[in-house]
Structure 1
Amino acid sequence: MQESFILFYCLLFIVAFLYASVGHGGASGYLALMAIFAISPAIMKPTALLLNLFVSSTSFIQFYRGGHFKWKTFWPFALASIPLSFVGGMMVIESSIYKKILGLLLLIPVIRFFFFKNTDPKDFKSSNIPLSLAIGGIIGLLSGMIGIGVGLSFLLSYCY
């Protein structure tokens, strides 16, 4: 039993390190790891949120220092996502449904990785505020429901 805790914490450190090294908070990795170790959703959500906030904050500081932060692009996402993340976090979801939603949301980065590899920031269009508000709201609600919160790195990955 103690060996599984040691393995879990070692893997958790590796996940945090790898996600932080590419500028992400890592909540999807923490949630996947906790699901593998059969940790209950009641523990998964706040733990992933806390870890994600810590790692995202350190990533944001580096992102900001590098001159990549654009307030004009960020604010509509944040304006909608932060309150809806709170609403999503207040929702009580049955364990089996939670795991299905989590599984679907964990596929999004995989799809983005395989099918949208060559995105160059120079090719991005200017921000559409109503669309940014809608997308930010959806991201906030879903991430609050599964315990990712509104990790700055998740939002910022779309804002530069």
Structure 2
Amino acid sequence: MDLLPLLPFLACLFVVGFLYASVGHGGASGYLATMALFSIRPELMKSSALLLNVFVSFIAFIQYYRAGYFRGEKFWPFALASVPMAFVGARIPLSDSLYRKILAASLILVVIRLLWQLRGKETESKPIPLAWGLAAGAVIGLLSGMIGIGGGILLSPLMLLFHWAKVKETAASSSLFILVNSISGLIGLFSQGFRPEPQIYIWIMAGLLGGICGSYLGSHRLSASSLNYLLAVSVTLACLKLIFT
């Protein structure tokens, strides 16, 4: 396999894995944006993003768990409904046109999330109402399975907005949330006969290396707000590409 033509694409996967893992995310929305920029065919995008998500979110969760930020009560109300709905969402067939539109809308939410940074002193977190947790988990899980993301990029701002967790507690819960949703979505794809294409393995290595570096720094010392602004620009370009091409 000639890696030279792939280097720009692999470098982008590394950067996405690094940036997203630093805040406890698997990076699926970033991988999808990168694939859109490099004109990867839509039928390969969802499965590839979910596979990358599994490896990178697992690394991110381990780092945040070891740093002592994981709280089970901040995780299970969302995961209880999201996991089965991610399985259902992955089995919903979408046309290329509809897939691109839903993905573009989701990436716009990603841009908003990246530009909105929690500022000032953190307040004490509040308990998560069970009904709200189940409802949010179900909606995020369904969308996650449909377009091939883990849902953390949607869950994180919700948790911070309602003060359900502090920033690094949110990162820890989001990383595990992404992991279980991605696995559920992949099971849904495998049940329909999906088999990974050979090139995905080198893609996984690039994202995983970035995730290892980013999750370690993010769980211990890194503040990546300026990097998030740069990432927001690249995701915006991907949104425009999806909308106008």
Fold shared, TM-score > 0.5 on shorter chain = yes
Match in the other structure for 2:216: none
| Runs of 5+ consecutive residues of structure 2 not aligned to the other structure | 160-164, 170-245
Counterpart residue identity of residue 47, structure 2: P
User: How many Å apart are 1:35 and its aligned residue?
Assistant: 1.0
Q: 8 Å contact 2:140–2:154 — kept in the other structure?
A: no
Match in the other structure for 1:148: 149
**Which secondary structure state, in structure 1, belongs to the residue aligned with residue 77 of structure 2?**
helix
Counterpart residue identity of residue 107, structure 2: L
| Runs of 5+ consecutive residues of structure 1 not aligned to the other structure | none
**Which secondary structure state, in structure 2, belongs to the residue aligned with residue 122 of structure 1?**
coil
Q: 8 Å contact 2:17–2:26 — kept in the other structure?
A: yes
Q: 8 Å contact 2:29–2:110 — kept in the other structure?
A: no
For 2:88 and 2:7, the matched residues in 1 are separated by 34
User: How many Å apart are 1:44 and its aligned residue?
Assistant: 0.5
Number of corresponding residues: 159
User: How many Å apart are 1:2 and its aligned residue?
Assistant: 7.2
Match in the other structure for 1:110: 111
Q: 8 Å contact 2:74–2:128 — kept in the other structure?
A: yes
**Which secondary structure state, in structure 1, belongs to the residue aligned with residue 76 of structure 2?**
helix
**Larger RCO (CA within 8 A; separation ≥ 6):** 2
Counterpart residue identity of residue 66, structure 1: A
User: Kindly, what percent of the aligned residue pairs are identical?
Assistant: 50
| CA spacing shift, 1:156–1:26, aligned 2, 3 Å | same
Runs of 4+ in 1 over 4 A off after TM superposition: 1-4, 153-157
Q: How does 1:3-152 map to 2 (within 5 A)?
A: 4-115=5-116, 117-118=118-119, 122-149=123-150
User: How many Å apart are 1:136 and its aligned residue?
Assistant: 0.5
User: How many Å apart are 1:7 and its aligned residue?
Assistant: 1.7
User: Is 126-135 or 114-123 further displaced after alignment?
Assistant: 114-123
Q: 8 Å contact 1:24–1:154 — kept in the other structure?
A: no
| CA spacing shift, 1:155–1:66, aligned 2, 3 Å | farther
What is the TM-score when the length of structure 1 is the normalising length? 0.86
Match in the other structure for 2:177: none
What is the TM-score when the length of structure 2 is the normalising length? 0.58
User: Is 61-70 or 26-35 further displaced after alignment?
Assistant: 61-70
User: How many Å apart are 1:125 and its aligned residue?
Assistant: 2.4
For 2:150 and 2:120, the matched residues in 1 are separated by 25
